[in-house]
Structure formats: structure tokens, C-alpha cells
Structure 1
Amino acid sequence: MDEIWTRPYSPGPGRWLVIVWEAVALAFLAWATIQQFDLRGHGITLVGCALAAAWVVGAHRILQMGAYVGRRGLRIHGLVRSRTLSWHDIARIRLHRVTHKVGSFEIESGMTVLLDRHDGSTVNTELWAKGVDFHARPSVFRAVYQELRSRHLAAAK
């Protein structure tokens, strides 16, 4: 029987901004490539089609990114790879405050949701409080975190 996976939040509007940004960047790359190599005819078509295909695949992955819950587990869709974990493989779901050190300065990057597995490894969930889905919606970030914790606790019973 197939598992039904649902994302417990709606994607933020920032995803569309990222997709448009990538389209502009790839268009600039196409223009620069055509100019640099003085392409004509089929060369222009080939570059345009290859970069358009890369954009379509990338845009699809960006739209699918996130955490999906099911009755038996949690599925994490990243930009490049996806992974599925059973609720029973997860020891703990926790918030982690991310900071980056630059010289003697520490730059606060916000909270992210991490999964601690029973084997001692940690899995990133792609859920970031200052990311494109939650930056303007901190209450949604907290609600998703609570939803993951409650589903994990329910599966442990």
C-alpha cells in the first residue's frame, strides 16, 4: 500500500522569487555563452534548450522541497536528493540555533529543525525559520515544528 505524503504547510511566496531569480541568472548565462563563443543558429538553440531544461528541472525541485509527513514516517525533499525516514528511526525532533563564525564575529542565522536518529546521526529537514517558506510567517514555522513533534510522539505509542 502506498503512503500518502502531505506537506503540513503551504510553500511561501519566496519560492517564486527564487525561481524567477534563477531564470534571470540562466538567461544571463545563455547570453554570455552565446557572446563568448560567438554562437549562431543551432548553437544558440542548443544552449537555450539545455538551460531551459535545467531551469524546468530546478524549478520543479524547488517547488517540491520541504518536509512531508505520512502515517509511517517523514519524507524530506531537498534540492538534489530526497530521503524517507520511519518515525521509529527518529529518536528526537529538535530546534537548532544556527550561527556562523566569521573571524571574531558570530552571525545569527535563525532556527532550523533537525532530526536526531537512533544511530546517532543528524538529518536536516530543510525547515529554516528564516527561509523562503517561513521568513514572514514565524507562527507557521512553530506550527510545523509542533506538528512534526506530535506525529513523532503519536507514532511512538
Structure 2
Amino acid sequence: MPLPFLTADRAFDEAGEDLALPFDDRDQWRRPYRPGPWRVGAAALLLLLASYVLFAAVIIAVAGNGSGGAVCLGLAVVVIAGALRLLRMGAWVSATGLRRVRFLQTTTTPWAHVMVVRTVQQPVRWLGLPRTVQGQALVLVRGGHSGNETTPLLTTHNADFLGRPEAFDRAADGVEVWADEYRQHA
């Protein structure tokens, strides 16, 4: 079974410096980096919890309480959907634009509305919690009717890059290359 999220770093490694965007189908949405160990670990724990809840649903249903089993089954489906959504979170790029996927919301910005994508030093949230620490963020500056709006896409302290500054640099460079390439065509 092909796992496309594992090919992001490998494609950049194989392409070297000659090819900035090493993907054949640039119309397909892709995350130009691998999900980090914190994100994958949290999703794995959620899926483990879902397996226990599914097992409990089977036991409850076999014991004769069909409505209790259905409730457990519904809870397991919600936990599985949450784990999958957690794995999809991040910055995604395509020839169409730049997409920021959060847990409950997805925002797509066409390349024509992107003014600049750059890395800045600023206080960032630690693993998405309210606590902030000094770090780097890849920010998207959008132009629009209400002025310029700045949105952080990636940070050095989120679930994908905590403790992996070289992975953050590689991902930020990848997103900046996509932005430079497609802002010129927009």
C-alpha cells in the first residue's frame, strides 16, 4: 500500500538541488514534509484507545445490550476520525494554492492572494497549547480587501517539528519554493 506522506522528504533528497519542486503531478494537494513523531504518536495512542473501545462494543453487544454496543461503536468511530484528522493537520501545497489544515477548520489561499511566505523569529505556541516559547514560524502574508493578514503555517514547536529544527528548515524551504514558483505565475 503506497504511503504518499513518506515520499515527501525522499523526493526532495533524490531531486537534489537541480529540481526545486520534485513532484510530477503538481495539481494534487501534498504536504511537503513528513508528519512529526509527536503527531504520529498521539494518533497512534488514539487508535489504540479506539481498538479498546471497539472491543468493548463487541463485548457489550454480545452480552445483549445492543444500544450500549452502538454507543461504544459510535464513540470508536469518532476517535478514529479524530486520529485521522490529526494526521492530516499541517500545511499543504499544490498548483492551486496553499492550504492550512487545522483540526476543525481548513483554509485555502490561492497563490494570487499570497503576498509572501517567510520564516520569522517570534513567540510560538508549544505543541498548540496556550504556553508560548521563542521560536521560528513560517508565516503566510495574505493581501486582501482588509489589508495584510499574517497567518503562521508551521512552527519549530508544533507537533511536526518539536526537537527537529533541520526538519523545520527543510519544510519551510519547501513551502517557500512552492510559493515563489506559483506566485510568479499567478
TM-score normalised by L of structure 2: 0.63
| Counterpart for residue 115 of structure 1 | 140
Is it true that 1:132 corresponds to 2:156 in the alignment?
no
Identify unmatched segments of 5+ residues in structure 2: 1-25, 57-63, 126-130
Matches within 5 A, 1:17-96: 17-22=41-46, 41-96=65-120
Q: Distance in 2 between matches of 1:144 and 1:99?
A: 17
Is 1:10 matched with 2:34?
Answer: yes
Which has more strand, going by share of residues? Answer: 1
TM-aligned CA distance change 1:18 to 1:146, over 3 Å = same
Which residue is equivalent to 1:36?
A: none
1:44: how far off? 2.7
* Contact in 2 for aligned 1:109/1:130 (Cα 8 Å): no
- How many residues are aligned here? 140
Larger mean CA deviation between 130-139 and 54-63 belongs to: 130-139
- Indicate the SS of the match to 2:118: strand
TM-score of the superposed pair, with normalisation by structure 1: 0.73
Identity over the aligned pairs, expressed in percent? 25
Please give the alpha-carbon distance, in whole angstroms, between the structure 1 residues aligned to 2:83 and 2:105: 14
